[in-house]
Amino acid sequence: MLVNQTFLRAPGPTPIPQQVSHAMNEPMIGHRSSSFAQLFADTSERLKPIFGTQQPIFIVTASGTGGLEVAVDNVTGAGDEVLVVVAGAFGDRFAAICEKHDLVTHRLNVAWGEAVCPNELKQALQSYPHVKAVLLTFNETSTGVIQPIQQLTAVVREHTDALTLVDGVSCIGGVAAKMDEWDIDILVTGSQKAMMLPPGLALISASKRAWAIIEKTKASSFYFDLKAYYKQWENAMTPYTPAVSLIKGLQAVCEMMEEETLDQVFKRHELMKEMTRAAMKALHLPLLTNDEVASPTVTAVKAVEGLNVDTFRSHVNKQYGLTLAGGQKQLKGKIFRIGHMGYCSPVDILTTVSIIEMGLLDCGLTIQLGAGVKAAQEVYRNDISNTCK
């Protein structure tokens, strides 16, 4: 690398905006102080439109995976039946959590890179009519597929009384979520993806229907028992010492999103997706997913003949400071992934594409420098209808 400049385009963690860093650096405050209570109440309230809910949002000090376990542990008990849609590594992890809790776990396996079709889900529900919960991955980080959550929850509601537990870790804050309108029962996200923060927080909300179950369920975990969080939420506190600096940062994130407007945040993510996909197509790189199901936050690009994707990733990292992600589990060595979420702009996509082009050429692929950038620029200019007057 010529200068020590880095471009973090993994699908989380993501770069941190300077004003968020500043907020996290404010002098530490006690978590039983009125200052903290104000911070917590304000931040929790401002998260509601991001989740699309009027329900309380709880903040748990944990990775996203911890948040997913909160969802499972608070509404099920050993022996309960659940249905998990598994369309990638994170659906697989959601199912593994259920298995760890000794649930009778039915997996609806979907090809990695595809979305589940509502009809398939309907059939699975007919096969397993007694499931207590249906677990869905809103945005499958490992493949770059966004699932049709609204349609899926509608199918669940039509055919069963099961709760819907939704892993929104890699998209909430980057795509519109309407938890209440779409009848999602538990929605979980993490801090380090479209929420523009360092990792360390899980954010969780539960519907009234879910709460009726939570109140009757004995959570197996002490730390993850949502009832304790609810009790302290009423005092604008958390039951255990919260990650105060991250919550300060979260408040700053909410301010930034409000300033940009949520609608514009979501349009920006859609635009970055379109730019990324147009660039990869112009470079004749095959995409793992179809346009219809492509994630606004992460794009998976397939290896082509002559390209070792992991060598390529390592090269662009060392030479140009660009971090891309590789494939996970069955996709290891078969794809690379570009994160375009959170604190990421259309211009950042141009930068990313230009480095990818140089890297591909460095690695021996025959590509036309600038072709991907041009395609992305065209999408960008078309979107903003920019004419200099």
Q: Which residues are annotated as a binding site for substrate?
A: 337
Which of 44, 69, 110, 341 forms a contact with a second copy (CB under 8 A)? 69
**Nearer of residues 70 and 116 to a second copy, judged by Cβ:** 70
Query: Could you tell me the smallest distance in angstroms from the CB atom of residue 223 to a second copy?
Result: 4
In whole angstroms, give the CA distance from residue 161 to residue 179: 17
Q: Does 65 bind a second copy (CB under 8 A)?
A: yes
Separation in Å, CA 132 to CA 125, 210, 224: 11, 11, 20
Query: Mask of contacts with a second copy, 165-204, x by CB under 8 A?
Result: -------------------------x-x-----xxx----
Tokens of 148: 């049709």
**CB nearer a second copy, residue 51 or residue 229:** 229
Residue in 83, 100, 39 with CA at minimum distance from that of residue 249: 39
Among 19, 25, 235, 290, binds a second copy (CB under 8 A): 25
> What is the smallest separation between the CB atom of 30 and a second copy, expressed in angstroms?
4
CB 73 within 8 A of CB 219: yes
Determine phi and psi for 264, rounding to 5 degrees.
Answer: -70, -35
**Cα 241 from Cα 219, distance rounded (Å):** 20
Stretch that binds a second copy, among 179-187, 220-228, 261-269, 357-365 (CB under 8 A): 220-228
Q: Is 12 in the site for a second copy (CB under 8 A)?
A: yes
CA distance 153 to 135: 10
- Tokens 């029962």 label which residue? 185
Contacting range for a second copy; rule: CB under 8 A; set: 119-127, 158-166, 178-186, 241-249? 241-249
- Taking the least distance from each CB to a second copy, the nearer of 100 and 130 is 100
Closest CB to a second copy among residues 246, 300: 246
Closest by CA position to 242, among listed 19, 380, 35: 35
Going residue by residue from 81 to 110, which x/- string records binding to a second copy, judged by CB under 8 A? ---------------xx--xx---------
Which tokens in the block code for residue 21? Answer: 């860093």
Q: Which is nearer to a second copy, 209 or 315 (CB)?
A: 315
**Cα–Cα distance for residue pair 382/374, rounded to 1 Å:** 12
Q: Which residue, 61 or 123, has its beta carbon nearer to a second copy?
A: 61
Site for a second copy contains 251 (CB under 8 A) = no
Query: Do the beta carbons of residue 185 and residue 159 sit within 8 Å?
Result: no
Q: What distance, in Å, lies between the first and last C-alpha atoms of the chain? A: 40
Give the chain's largest Cα–Cα span. Answer: 67
Helices (H) and strands (E) in the chain, counts: 13, 14
Residue 62 interacting with a second copy (CB under 8 A): yes
Q: 167: which DSSP letter? A: E
Q: Of residues 21, 54, 127, 235, which one binds a second copy by CB under 8 A?
A: 21
Using CB under 8 A, which residues numbered 309 to 368 contact a second copy? 317, 323, 325
- Select the span of 149-157, 204-212, 238-246, 287-295 touching a second copy (CB under 8 A): 238-246
Collect all residues with Cβ–Cβ distance below 8 Å to 326 and sequence separation of at least 6: 309, 310, 313, 332, 333, 335, 336, 337
Q: How far apart are CA 251 and CA 240, in angstroms?
A: 19
Please state the residue numbers annotated as binding site: 337
Smallest separation, CB 95 to a second copy (Å): 11
Q: Pick from 109, 220, 319, 351: which binds a second copy (CB under 8 A)?
A: 220
- Decide if residue 230 touches a second copy (CB under 8 A): no
DSSP category for residue 342? S
Q: How far is the CB of 126 from a second copy (least distance, A)?
A: 29
Look up residue 17 and give its two tokens. 């905006």
Binding site for a second copy (CB under 8 A): 6, 8, 10, 12-16, 21, 24-25, 27-33, 61-66, 69, 73, 96-97, 100-101, 190, 192, 198-200, 219-225, 239-246, 317, 323, 325
